[in-house]
């Protein structure tokens, strides 16, 4: 008998939108990042409003929202220093969609 097993991998059934918003601090070139259950990732959002709400938590003035494609966001995440290993869609901070980039 064939049976389908529940997938044990994190968020494989969730999709990340093609257009995203990330937060960047233009003077320093730093990006907004987040840690969820020990996984560090570049913070991204499906709306600019969500990005700006998250920016309120960052202790660095002058954060700017930047609209990027999913592929561009992946490249930004890959260029971040360790321990950043993922791209995180943080529309729901308690249940982020995590896409590993390394």
DSSP-derived secondary structure for 8-57: -STTTT----SEEEEEEETTTTEE-EEEETTEEEEEEBSSHHHHHHHHTT
Q: Lowest mean pLDDT: which of 4-18, 27-41, 42-56, 62-76? A: 4-18
Whether residue 1 has pLDDT greater than 80: no
Q: CA-to-CA distance for 55 and 64, rounded, in angstroms?
A: 8
pLDDT tens for each residue of 46-58: 999 999 999 999 9
Is the CB of residue 50 less than 8 Å from the CB of residue 27? no
Q: CA-to-CA distance for 83 and 20, rounded, in angstroms?
A: 22
Residue 41, both tokens: 């990732």
pLDDT band at 14 (very low <50, low <70, confident <90, very high): low
Whether residue 3 has pLDDT greater than 60: no
For residue 73, the Cα-to-chain-centroid distance in whole angstroms is 8
Query: Is pTM, for the whole model, over 0.75?
Result: yes
């Amino acid at each position: 008998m064939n049976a389908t097993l529940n997938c044990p991998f994190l968020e494989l059934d969730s999709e990340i939108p093609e257009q995203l918003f990330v937060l960047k601090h233009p003077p320093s070139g730093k990006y907004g990042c987040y840690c969820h259950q020990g996984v560090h990732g570049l913070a991204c959002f499906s709306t600019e409003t969500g990005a700006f709400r998250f920016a309120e938590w960052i202790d660095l003035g002058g954060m700017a929202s930047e609209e990027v494609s999913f592929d561009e966001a992946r490249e930004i995440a890959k260029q971040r220093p360790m321990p950043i290993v993922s791209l995180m869609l943080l529309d729901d901070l308690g249940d982020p969609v995590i896409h590993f980039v390394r």
